[in-house]
Structure 1
Amino acid sequence: MITLVANMQAKPGKEKELEAALQTQFPQVQLEKGTVAYVLHRSTEKVGQFFFYEKYQDQAALDYHGSTPYLKEVFSNIADLLLEKPEIKLYEEVAAISR
């Protein structure tokens, strides 16, 4: 399994707009076969900070997700809403408990 985490900070006054834009691709991502988890979080401590937790079966599933037109459209739409470039990191799963 591959896990992707992404941190994004909205420009002041653009928090609600960024949140709405980040949610637009969920219906399409739900149909991706190799996407195991795709979760958007909003910080309870810092206004306008968002965190994605994404889990993919393998590199091919992550590559597919990254190549989709709807994800490219989201990144295009949010460019002017972000304070800075998103911080994106990849991890390999070592151990887990799932219920």
Structure 2
Amino acid sequence: MSTVETDEIRAFVLSSLKEMNYSVAGVDDGTPLGPAGVDLESLALAELGIRVEERFGVVFEEDEAEVLGTMTVGEFGAALAARIASTPAAGQ
């Protein structure tokens, strides 16, 4: 059974944020993705969702972007790890 480690997810999220021109200086598991943290707006949250979908093969619904904006980096990583673990391996 292959599981994606939260460290791998965190590294991917931080790398994606850098590529999206967000500063990740001082960002840790307790940093909110939305206001008072990384400060991702709805379009940036959608882009992060798409990047995660492409990398890890999970799907986010459009209405989930609002919830993602309320999560910390650590909460997002844990939620993503749980979703990856519960998603059947894509063989197509």
Higher helix share: 2
TM-score (norm 2): 0.36
CA radius of gyration, larger in: 1
Higher strand share: 1
TM-score (norm 1): 0.35
Tell which has more relative contact order, 1 or 2 (C-alpha 8 A, sep 6+): 1
